[in-house]
Structure 1
């Protein structure tokens, strides 16, 4: 398989955009159900989907990190060294925040003592007992980390647009889906 050196490989791009879509949906769904009356089918459905996608996100992030370390193609950047270091630090922070969010989500759900199922197919039992008293603190942390992910991901997107519009380089184009001709100047 011949991979152009100026683009990320197909799987890296798929994992990137799938992660972005799931993060946006999960963030939005959590804020939507907060405005719905407790016990309604829509609220319960959004919560169930959020939980199942959280479990799927855990698998996605593990696979994404493994792919990045083992097989992913990451083109070299022409940006100054300091900017590259800043970008790597931001990516590292995003990965750490996503991992923290997944762990917090699992622990928070177990602390609630409610069923924790993957699309209704199978339950995920708690490996340890989590005191119900921790629900409030865990829920608050889960919410704060969600906001941190959204803010950092927003800065990440703004940086990509800045590269495209102001700098005029290939940074955004190399992560876009398709043949690589998208957003040609």
Structure 2
């Protein structure tokens, strides 16, 4: 089992965080679309937003952890990509960090605009830093826009990885799924 990322592929922590965040972010988008149409009499009227906010804060923590991890690990080789593909991959991969950060911060600002802290699964509270009720609408609109942009980029990212795997026959997707080939792993 490889822990650190190397030129040959991604280590286990990177792969677990990547796929966990991918599933959670898509799930959060679907949950967000569903919950905005709930009415007051729905049994999920309060629980769906609570889950959405709690998972969002946990994703923010994971995002920061993933960013720090990325800074201290090698990047797997992208020599099999064209110059254009390398450039596009760099823009998309590094672009996800500020985009997701802004998405999560806008959700936090929307949720705490009334001055109440954000409760994360009753495990801990995140205090409201800004008490500005009118900000809730602006933050909400920004949150929705950023969520839509994120889903477009996620879709493009997924299509590109499938193209590399099935058309180009490269190991781009395989190294994020299963890591480097066994004969190229570092102890």
Q: TM-score range by the shorter chain?
A: 0.7 to 0.9
Alignment match, 1:172: 173
Alignment match, 2:157: 156
Distance 1:79 1:177 in 2: 19
Distance 2:179 2:41 in 1: 42
Scaled by the length of structure 1, the TM-score of the pair is 0.88
Alignment match, 2:82: 80
Scaled by the length of structure 2, the TM-score of the pair is 0.87
Alignment of 1:10-159 (within 5 A): 10-38=12-40, 40-70=42-72, 72-77=73-78, 78-129=80-131, 131-159=132-160
Distance 1:92 1:38 in 2: 40
1:43 match: secondary structure: coil
8 Å CA contact retained: 2:10, 2:180: no
Stretch of structure 1 that moved more, 59-68 or 37-46: 37-46
1:149 match: secondary structure: helix
1:168 match: secondary structure: coil
Deviation for aligned residue 1:114: 4.6
Q: 5+ unaligned residues in a row in structure 2: which ranges? A: 183-187
Distance 1:50-1:134 versus aligned 2 partners, 3 A rule? same
8 Å CA contact retained: 1:30, 1:50: yes
Deviation for aligned residue 1:41: 2.8
Deviation for aligned residue 1:38: 2.5
Aligned residue pair count: 179
8 Å CA contact retained: 2:109, 2:135: no
Residues 10-65 of structure 1: CA deviation (Å, up to 9, x unaligned): 11111110110110111111111123212533131111111111110111001000
Deviation for aligned residue 1:82: 2.1
8 Å CA contact retained: 1:111, 1:134: yes
Distance 1:68 1:81 in 2: 22
